């Protein structure tokens, strides 16, 4: 008797392992080079040039993945394309300086929209102290905006690595609004979500807060919340080899969030696109953080603390505590 042939294995795809699965395999293998102070795997790379340090980062917005054209104007899309990069610079305390822009647009894209998109990039770059120095324009089926940003690095380097047991976990602003706004735009049920929709359309990168938190030496680790609080906290935990406890009663939620979602904390925990700063602060720095608060330009809230182990525990007031693994936004792994 001949054993039946096993079905031919389908090749593993990026959709099977997801963005972070791929990066986990890739990053350890990448070669380092001279002049590279911090390599891939952080919000920005840190490179050295003529004795001075620069942050270098790239990010993209793709139609059908990050937005639909009806969800925001071309000008807003241009602004957002720059601002999400600025948020990466904020997470390491940088000052945006120079950017190059790669636009991919369908042939039938209206010229006035392309002009508005470009104007939005230039405008938001200018507001952040940066200038568009070059670009590339190509045809594509999906509209997309890819921007690479160079920022002045602060003297102190803060990455996702550095959180220690006992550190407090802080987050700026409020959580979950952009995800709520995105859902409202997607479902076309926008009653009461004006503020949330605005947060989706126009991120507020915390550049000033990032600089103060890094330069003052208050924070031990920092990241911007782009893929969802739990997932981005998991990046800090993984890099720092620690665990975390989050108290949902402390999550900073907007009036809009509370009125639309009441006690449902899913979007605040996992929503993504907040572009707030998530940082860890050693116990001995908490007093200094309190004194520095007025200089941050935004609220900052303690939502939990770093613990041993490698798990993230979410404590709810009703005692329905859960142990979470990261479950934030991954383009390649649609949520179940």
Tell me if 296 sits within 8 A of 212, measured CB to CB: yes
CB of 329 to a second copy, least distance (A): 11
Q: How many CB atoms lie within 10 A of CB 78?
A: 29
As a whole number of Å, the end-to-end CA separation of the chain is 42
Name residue, tokens 């479902």. Answer: 187
CB of 289 to a second copy, least distance (A): 29
Query: Which of 164, 76, 88 has its CA nearest to residue 120?
Result: 76
CB of 320 to a second copy, least distance (A): 33
Cβ nearer to a second copy, comparing 205 with 282: 205
Cβ nearer to a second copy, comparing 144 with 204: 144
Cβ nearer to a second copy, comparing 287 with 331: 331
Cβ nearer to a second copy, comparing 137 with 255: 137
DSSP letter for each residue of 159-226: -S----TT-EEEEES-SSHHHHHHHHHHHT--TT-HHHHHHHHS----HHHHHHHHHTT--SEEEEES
Query: Which of 163, 153, 211, 210 has its CA nearest to residue 36?
Result: 153
Query: Quick one: tokens of 325?
Result: 């693994």
CB of 119 to a second copy, least distance (A): 9
Query: Quick one: tokens of 263?
Result: 């006690």
CB of 255 to a second copy, least distance (A): 32
CB of 171 to a second copy, least distance (A): 23
Q: How many CB atoms lie within 10 A of CB 294?
A: 8
CB of 191 to a second copy, least distance (A): 30
Dihedral sign from CA coordinates of 32, 35, 37, 42: negative
Cβ nearer to a second copy, comparing 140 with 261: 140
Cβ nearer to a second copy, comparing 13 with 262: 13
Tell me if 302 sits within 8 A of 169, measured CB to CB: yes
Tell me if 222 sits within 8 A of 92, measured CB to CB: yes
Query: Which of 209, 207, 185 has its CA nearest to residue 196?
Result: 185
Cβ nearer to a second copy, comparing 4 with 31: 31
Cβ nearer to a second copy, comparing 25 with 295: 25
> What are the distances in angstroms from CA 234 to CA 27, 147, 220, 326?
17, 26, 15, 6
CB of 99 to a second copy, least distance (A): 9
Cβ nearer to a second copy, comparing 30 with 266: 30
CB of 229 to a second copy, least distance (A): 20
């Amino acid at each position: 008797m001949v054993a039946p042939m096993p079905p031919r294995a389908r090749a593993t795809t990026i959709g099977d392992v997801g963005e972070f699965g791929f990066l986990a395999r890739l990053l350890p293998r990448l070669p380092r080079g001279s002049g590279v102070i911090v390599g891939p795997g952080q919000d920005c790379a840190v490179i050295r040039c003529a004795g001075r340090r620069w942050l270098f980062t790239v990010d993209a917005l793709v139609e059908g993945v990050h937005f639909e054209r009806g969800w925001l104007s071309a000008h807003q899309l241009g602004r957002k394309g720059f601002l999400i990069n600025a948020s990466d610079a904020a997470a390491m305390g940088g000052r945006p300086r120079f950017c190059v822009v790669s636009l991919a647009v369908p042939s039938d894209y209206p010229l006035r929209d392309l002009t508005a998109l470009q104007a939005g990039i230039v405008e938001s770059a200018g507001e952040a102290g940066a200038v568009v120095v070059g670009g590339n324009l190509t045809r594509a089926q999906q509209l997309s905006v890819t921007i690479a940003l160079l920022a002045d690095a602060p003297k102190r380097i803060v990455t996702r690595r550095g959180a220690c047991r006992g550190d407090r976990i802080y987050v700026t602003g409020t959580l979950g609004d952009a995800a709520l706004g995105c859902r409202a735009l997607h479902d076309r049920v926008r009653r009461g979500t004006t503020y949330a929709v605005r947060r989706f359309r126009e991120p507020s990168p915390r550049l000033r807060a990032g600089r103060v938190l890094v330069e003052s030496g208050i924070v031990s680790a920092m990241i911007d919340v782009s893929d969802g609080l739990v997932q981005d906290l998991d990046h800090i935990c993984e890099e720092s080899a620690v665990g975390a406890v989050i108290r949902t009663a402390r999550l900073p939620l907007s009036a809009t969030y509370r009125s639309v979602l009441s006690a449902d904390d899913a979007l605040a925990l996992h929503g993504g696109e907040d572009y707030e700063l998530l940082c860890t602060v050693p116990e001995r720095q908490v007093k200094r953080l309190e004194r520095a608060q007025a200089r941050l330009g935004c609220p900052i809230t303690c939502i939990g603390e770093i613990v041993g182990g490698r798990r993230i525990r979410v404590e709810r007031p009703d005692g329905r505590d859960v142990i979470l693994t990261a479950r934030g936004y991954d383009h390649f792994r649609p949520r179940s």
